[in-house]
Structure 1
Amino acid sequence: MKNSLDSKLLLQVFEKIRQHGEQRDGAYHLNGIKAFTDFDGYTLYIEDALVKLSYGFHNQYHFDYEKQSQFDAFEKKLVSIDKEY
C-alpha cells in the first residue's frame, strides 16, 4: 500500500532516531520505531511491528501495512518523535 508523508519529516525522524535511539543489531531503536539503511545507505527503512517503510533515492517511498489504522498509528509515532526530539 502507498500513502503520503512529507519527505522532510521522514528524513528528520530518521536522523532523530539515529541520534537518540539505541543501536543494536545493525539498527537504531527509539519509542517503538526501528530505523536502518541498506548496505550502501541509499535506502532508508523505518518500521514498527505493523508498518514498514522503505525510502529510497529521488524521494521514492513505499509503505507496507494491512490496515489504515496501523498506518495512522505509525504516522503518530513519527510525528511524536519529531516533536519530542
Structure 2
Amino acid sequence: MQNELDTKQLLRVFEKVRVHGTREGEQFHLEGLIGYSDFDGYTIYLEDAKVKMSFGFHNTYHFDYEAAKDLEAFEKKLSYIDKHYD
C-alpha cells in the first residue's frame, strides 16, 4: 500500500474485521482496528487510534492522520490481519 491503495486487500481486511471482530453496536473491533460502513454500505471505514480511512464508491478513498509513522503502523495492521485471519 505504499503508492496505491490495494483495494482487494482493503476489502478482505474489512470483511475479516467484520467476521472475526467483536461487534459493538454497528462497529466491529479486531486487533486495534475498528470497521464499519455507512447506512447503505457504499462507504466503509477502517480506523485505529491515530488513522481514519474511508473507502467508497468507484474506489475513492481518503486517509486522515497526523504523522506518516501513524499511517505506516496502520498499513502494518491491515497486512497483519490480512495474513493471519481466514
Aligned residues: 83
How many angstroms apart in 1 are the aligned matches of 2:63 and 2:16?
Answer: 20
Task: Please give the residue correspondences for 1:44-55 in structure 2 after superposition, counting only pairs within 5 Å.
Answer: 44-55=44-55
Identity of aligned residues (%): 59
1:19-34 equivalences in 2 (<5 Å): 19-34=19-34
RMSD: 0.9
Listed one character per residue, the Cα deviations across residues 1-52 of structure 1 (whole Å, up to 9, x for unaligned) are xx63200110000000011000002100000000000011100000000000
Q: SS in structure 2 opposite 1:15?
A: helix
Normalized against structure 1, the TM-score is what?
0.94
Q: C-alpha separation between the residues in 1 aligned to 2:9 and 2:63?
A: 15
TM-score by length of 2: 0.93
SS at match of 1:79: helix
**Structure 1 residue runs of 4+, over 3 Å off?**
none
